[in-house]
């Protein structure tokens, strides 16, 4: 009131009241003049004055819209494209060069961590390692820091630990939780939170007017009781298969110990040790596009809950930790999955093995061994024949490996050597990764995989599809320079990046024996370069060049891709231009725009492609419901329209839709009739239920 009285007194002394009265009189006189003009000249002048008023009002509305749009354009909202952030973090952690190289299992595994983040201050050493987010050295650093300094309470605190960093933590933040119930300087006790997650998916598509529509469905359920117990089950029926029983399914139950650190898994599990030369089943990235992709982060024994079921073992596995030592053991029936699915032609082989490791603050050393033996078949009297009793078990495969990884003044050294006992062959790989400066990271690696070395269950870094018949070297350089640029729509840790950052890599491989249908030895060289430029807080440019040379088939394959990304607090858009030349020149381009709020997301994409040869096919990652990985290969001449939507119905309840229409209105030179169009519709329902009990 005092402030109002002050201004009132001020304007009173300056003649404000008299000015106000004069304006009222002037307004009244203008109204009278307008009425007289209307009476003398008819209604036309009145209409002109009305049109002038409407024009003035339109100008004001347009000006207001421009001002509102400008404020949105340059504002720093907190709403962002969560899926794009998830994909970017996934690429950085897995070392994939693009979204199209991500495997379905890896996408599922990281999405589960995204939905149910790993509680860093509660997780045991075994659970930290089995998450696949950290190396053994990083796990040792976390455990030692928690014991000496208490819980980690901020991302800045985590990035200051040895072996971490701002760029790594900026990717890690989407998959971890820093929840704590302890005071600063103290460690949290084991929590007792219980979480349930249920995901239901269904889809229908029509690929031809002559065939009836096909359907698919999948279900996934997961339950975790604090850091002590977790279980999950998932099953799926794909397009064209019978709806019941499901085509594939997987399940597991895992118990984590308190007094005796470790875990026991019954059901489906995965095995990843060392650098992947002996045991790393399933899909794994063989390329070396980024320096951080050279050294593997083995997860040891980890639960498996994927729809596909590929690359998993079914049986029982356990690991135990004592101070700096760990021991893992596992046994699996290789035909158990087919047997439980009702198949008649299942394998009777048994895989069993163990791993023993030492983990310290500066590195790790471990030994891994496994064997596959065949169970003798019973005769008609349900007894084993006498000759097979005397011969004992038959080993179909057996491997033994030793791996090491050390960090010396910021330089990471890694190596693994494996012995294939069945084929009497030795394979080895090794390299180093170092930080040259604040802006440069470099990694080099060499590998020796003889032709007679068995690639089964192996997933080490490579140039081809298998860890066999390949001698090669790789090098990669990562750089970042320029001033720090803030990213529009992001806040907090990781909300800024260098104006220029990218990666350059080269890989050369020699195959001494024929492969891929070639009668002689062969050479392959790959060169990859990727550059990201942050032009403005709301605009970034990504350029990628990939070149491949082979001494067989079509020698050269060139792939050039450019992405323009615009981001605002509530919406974003992306324009991609992709050219590829192998047999002939092919191209693909799409435009995507989307809106995202706290409860609703809506994305629309339209694109066109011209690909006349299968060797020139172009892959493009398609936005889908969370947990789904969709990266189709485009071949032919056509276009597509896709609409993806997500709706947060209530707390813990989410609904997703995706619709796709793809048509081929133009014929390729070798075609005589049009390919039929394709339509697809998907729906996904996710339900998360939380229950927190009191901690003791």
- What's the distance, Cα to Cα, between the start and end of the chain in Å? 54
Question: Crossing angle for the helix pair 82-94 and 104-115, nearest 10 degrees?
Answer: 120
Q: Could you give the CA distance from residue 351 to residue 334 in angstroms, rounded to a whole number? A: 7
Residue entry with tokens 């030592």: 325
**Using 50, 70 and 90 to split pLDDT, how confident is the model at 72?**
very low
41-50, 221-230, 527-536: least confident range:
41-50
**Using 50, 70 and 90 to split pLDDT, how confident is the model at 695?**
very low
Q: Sign (positive/negative) of CA torsion 255, 259, 261, 262?
A: negative
3-state secondary structure labels for all residues of 183-230: CCCCCCCCCCEEEEEEEEEEEEEECCCCCCCEEEEEEEEEEEECCCEE
- Specify the pairing of strand 440-449 against strand 411-420: unpaired
Please report, for the chain, the start and end positions of each structural domain, with discontinuous segments joined by +: 2-74
Q: Name the percent of the chain in helix, strand, coil, to the closest 5.
A: 20, 45, 35
365-379, 383-397, 506-520, 541-555: least confident range:
383-397
Residue 63 has pLDDT above 70, yes or no: no
To 10 degrees, the CA torsion angle through 590, 100, 504, 87?
90
By three-state DSSP, how is residue 406 classified?
strand
358-362, 390-394, 654-658, 661-665: least confident range:
390-394
Residue 16 has pLDDT above 60, yes or no: no
Residue 694 has pLDDT above 50, yes or no: no
Section 621-646 average pLDDT: 88
The rounded mean pLDDT for the chain is 80
**Using 50, 70 and 90 to split pLDDT, how confident is the model at 284?**
low
**Using 50, 70 and 90 to split pLDDT, how confident is the model at 403?**
very high
**Using 50, 70 and 90 to split pLDDT, how confident is the model at 56?**
low
Q: Could you give the CA distance from residue 282 to residue 670 in angstroms, rounded to a whole number? A: 37
Higher pLDDT, 242 or 276: 276
Q: What pLDDT is attached to residue 445?
A: 94
Residue pair 264/301 in contact by the 8 Å Cβ criterion: no
Q: What pLDDT is attached to residue 269?
A: 93
Section 156-174 average pLDDT: 85
Taking residue 357's Cβ as centre, other Cβ atoms within 10 Å add up to 23
Residue 304 has pLDDT above 50, yes or no: yes
Residue 382 has pLDDT above 70, yes or no: no
Q: What pLDDT is attached to residue 519?
A: 83
Q: What pLDDT is attached to residue 393?
A: 53
Residue 67 has pLDDT above 50, yes or no: no
CA 474 to chain centre: 24
User: pTM of the prediction?
Assistant: 0.78
Section 203-228 average pLDDT: 80
Contacts of 337 (CB under 8 A, 6+ apart): 309, 314, 346
Q: What pLDDT is attached to residue 57?
A: 53
Burial environment of residue 236 by CB neighbours within 10 A (0 to 12, 13 to 18, 19 or more): buried
Q: ∠633-637-640 over CA atoms, to 5°? A: 65
Section 370-379 average pLDDT: 74
Tell which residue, 128, 93, 121, has the closest CA to residue 107.
93
Q: What pLDDT is attached to residue 4?
A: 37
- H or E element at residue 479: strand 470-486
Residue pair 403/297 in contact by the 8 Å Cβ criterion: no
Section 408-412 average pLDDT: 84
Q: What are the distances in angstroms from CA 474 to CA 287, 415, 435, 505?
A: 9, 14, 17, 7
Q: Could you give the CA distance from residue 351 to residue 333 in angstroms, rounded to a whole number? A: 6
Q: Tokens standing for 242?
A: 């019978």
Q: Tokens standing for 7?
A: 């201004």
Higher pLDDT, 647 or 84: 647
Q: What pLDDT is attached to residue 432?
A: 93
Strand residues in 334-451 grouped as ranges (E):
349-359, 363-374, 394-408, 411-420, 425-435, 440-449
114-128, 236-250, 567-581, 673-687: least confident range:
236-250
Section 72-86 average pLDDT: 54
- Specify the pairing of strand 425-435 against strand 313-322: unpaired
Section 131-158 average pLDDT: 86
**Using 50, 70 and 90 to split pLDDT, how confident is the model at 628?**
confident
Higher pLDDT, 420 or 109: 420
- Within 81-172, where are the H helices? 82-94, 104-115, 125-130, 136-149, 155-159, 166-172
Residue 21 has pLDDT above 80, yes or no: no
Question: Crossing angle for the helix pair 2-13 and 16-41, nearest 10 degrees?
Answer: 70
Q: What pLDDT is attached to residue 82?
A: 66
Q: Could you give the CA distance from residue 195 to residue 606 in angstroms, rounded to a whole number? A: 38
């Amino acid at each position: 009131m005092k402030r109002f009285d002050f201004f009132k007194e001020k304007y009173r002394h300056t003649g404000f009241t008299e000015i106000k009265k004069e304006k009222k009189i002037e307004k009244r006189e203008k109204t009278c003049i307008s009425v007289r003009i209307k009476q003398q000249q008819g209604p036309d002048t009145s209409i002109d004055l009305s049109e002038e008023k409407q024009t003035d009002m339109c100008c004001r509305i347009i000006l207001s819209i421009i001002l509102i749009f400008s404020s949105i354009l340059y504002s720093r909202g907190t709403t962002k494209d969560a899926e794009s952030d998830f994909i970017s973090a996934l690429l950085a952690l897995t070392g994939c060069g693009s979204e199209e190289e991500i495997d379905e299992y890896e996408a599922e595994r990281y999405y589960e961590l995204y939905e149910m983040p790993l509680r860093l201050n509660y997780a045991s050493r075994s659970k930290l390692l089995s998450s696949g987010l950290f190396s053994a050295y990083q796990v040792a650093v976390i455990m030692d820091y928690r014991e000496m300094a208490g819980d980690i309470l901020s991302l800045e605190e985590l990035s200051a630990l040895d072996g971490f960093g701002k760029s790594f933590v900026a990717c890690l933040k989407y998959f971890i939780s820093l929840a704590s119930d302890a005071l600063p300087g103290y460690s949290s006790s084991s929590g007792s939170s219980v979480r349930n997650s249920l995901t239901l998916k269904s889809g229908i598509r029509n690929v031809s007017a002559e065939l009836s529509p096909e359907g698919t469905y999948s279900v996934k359920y997961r339950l975790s009781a604090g850091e002590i117990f977790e279980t999950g089950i998932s099953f799926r029926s794909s397009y064209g298969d019978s709806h019941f029983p499901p085509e594939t399914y997987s399940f597991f139950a895992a118990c984590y110990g308190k007094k005796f650190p470790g875990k026991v898994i019954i059901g489906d599990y995965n095995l990843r040790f060392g650098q992947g030369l002996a045991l790393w089943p399933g899909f794994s990235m063989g390329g070396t596009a980024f320096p951080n992709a050279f050294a593997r982060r083995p997860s040891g024994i980890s639960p498996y809950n994927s729809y596909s079921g590929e690359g998993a073992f079914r049986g029982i596995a356990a690991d135990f930790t004592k101070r700096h030592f760990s021991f893992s053991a596992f046994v699996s029936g290789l035909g158990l999955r087919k047997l439980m699915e009702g198949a008649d032609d299942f394998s009777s082989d048994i895989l069993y093995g163990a791993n023993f490791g030492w983990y310290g603050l500066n590195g790790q050393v471990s030994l891994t061994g496994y064997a596959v033996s065949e169970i003798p078949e019973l005769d008609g009297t349900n007894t084993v024949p006498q000759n097979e009793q005397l011969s004992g078990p038959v080993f179909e495969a057996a491997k033994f490996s030793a791996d090491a990884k050390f960090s010396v003044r910021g330089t990471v050294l890694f190596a693994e050597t494996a012995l294939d006992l069945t084929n009497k062959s030795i394979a080895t790989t090794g390299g180093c990764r170092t930080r040259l400066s604040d802006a440069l990271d470099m990694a080099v690696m060499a590998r020796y995989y003889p032709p007679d070395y068995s690639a089964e269950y192996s997933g080490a870094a490579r140039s081809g599809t298998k860890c066999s018949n390949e001698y090669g070297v790789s090098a990669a350089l990562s750089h970042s320079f320029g001033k720090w640029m803030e990213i529009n729509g992001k806040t907090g840790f990781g909300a800024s990046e260098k104006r220029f950052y990218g990666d350059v890599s080269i890989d050369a491989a020699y195959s001494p024996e024929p492969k891929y249908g070639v009668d002689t030895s062969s050479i392959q060289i790959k060169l990859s370069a990727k550059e990201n430029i942050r032009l403005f807080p709301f605009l970034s440019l990504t350029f990628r060049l990939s070149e491949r040379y082979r001494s067989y088939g079509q020698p050269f394959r060139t792939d050039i891709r450019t992405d323009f990304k615009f981001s605002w607090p509530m919406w974003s858009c992306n324009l991609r231009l992709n050219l590829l030349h192998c047999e002939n020149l092919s191209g693909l381009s799409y435009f995507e725009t989307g809106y995202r709020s706290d409860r609703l997301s809506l994305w629309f994409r339209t694109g066109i492609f011209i690909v006349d040869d299968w060797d020139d096919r172009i892959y493009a990652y398609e936005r889908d419901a969370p947990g789904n990985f969709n990266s189709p290969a485009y071949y032919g001449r056509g276009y597509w329209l896709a609409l993806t939507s997500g709706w947060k119905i209530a707390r813990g309840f989410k609904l997703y839709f995706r619709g796709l229409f793809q048509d081929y209105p133009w014929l390729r030179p070798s075609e005589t009739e049009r390919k039929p169009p394709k339509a697809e519709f998907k729906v996904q329902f996710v339900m998360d239920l939380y229950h927190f009990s009191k901690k003791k």
